[in-house]
Amino acid sequence: MKLTHTNDQGKANMVDVSDKPPMLREAIAEGFIKMGTDTIKLIKENQMKKGDVLTISEIAGIQGAKKTSELIPLCHPLQLTKVTVKSSLQEDGVHVTCQTKCIGETGVEMEALTGVQVALLTLYDMCKAVDKYMEIQNVHLIEKTKKAI
């Protein structure tokens, strides 16, 4: 049996948001990377060869959120007014949250989710030499809001 994919419209489309009013939009996403106790100790003592793992992951997450429309083909480019990424060490890994904000016609949840994922991937990259069993888990959107301005 041969399976084929057909798009009813024959092409991919970016959603037209030109008729939507600009609103204050915010989103918060989170995720976790499970790590071994030796890895956590190295992070806590700032002994990883690549540097300050938590700070670098936060900066990477901010950069990732800003580049979302370049990574996800049909995602609108947004002028973000705020991106905050927090990486916090837990006893079994690192918890990451990302908050995004903009004034625009479409939501910022993809930017928050991308920020979390890039921060987690950065943590993975920075720790992979010492921990072969890390696992990225439970990346999800916590909250998405919009308010008239």
Cβ atoms of 80 and 102 closer than 8 Å: yes
Token pair 């993975």 in the structure block, residue: 124
Q: Any idea what DSSP says for residue 140?
A: E
Residue type, 27: A
CA torsion through residues 53, 137, 128, 83, sign: negative
Residue 16 lies in a domain: no
Residues 119-140 pLDDT 10s: 999 999 999 999 999 999 999 9
Q: Is the pLDDT of residue 148 over 90?
A: yes
The predicted model scores a pTM of 0.91
Number of domains comprising the chain: 1
Task: Tell whether 2 is covered by a domain.
Answer: no
* Strands 135-148, 80-90: pairing kind: unpaired
- Give domain status of residue 59, yes or no: yes
Instruction: Supply the range of the domain harboring residue 118.
Output: 23-148
Closest CA to 54 of 95, 84, 99, 114: 95
Give the pLDDT confidence score for residue 18 in this predicted structure: 87
| CA dist., res. 121 & res. 118, Å (int) | 5
Helices within the chain (DSSP H only) = 37-44, 53-66, 68-71, 109-127
CATH number of the domain enclosing 116:
3.30.70.640
Residues known to be catalytic? 125
> Is 56 part of a structural domain of the chain?
yes
Is 65 within 8 Å of 51 (Cβ atoms)?
no
Q: What are the tens digits of pLDDT across the range 18-73?
A: 888 899 999 999 999 999 999 999 999 999 999 999 999 999 999 999 999 999 99
Q: Is residue 15 part of a domain?
A: no
Residue 108: φ, ψ to 5°: -115, 20
Residue 98 lies in a domain: yes
64-111 pLDDT, tens per residue?
999 999 999 999 999 999 999 999 999 999 999 999 999 999 989 999
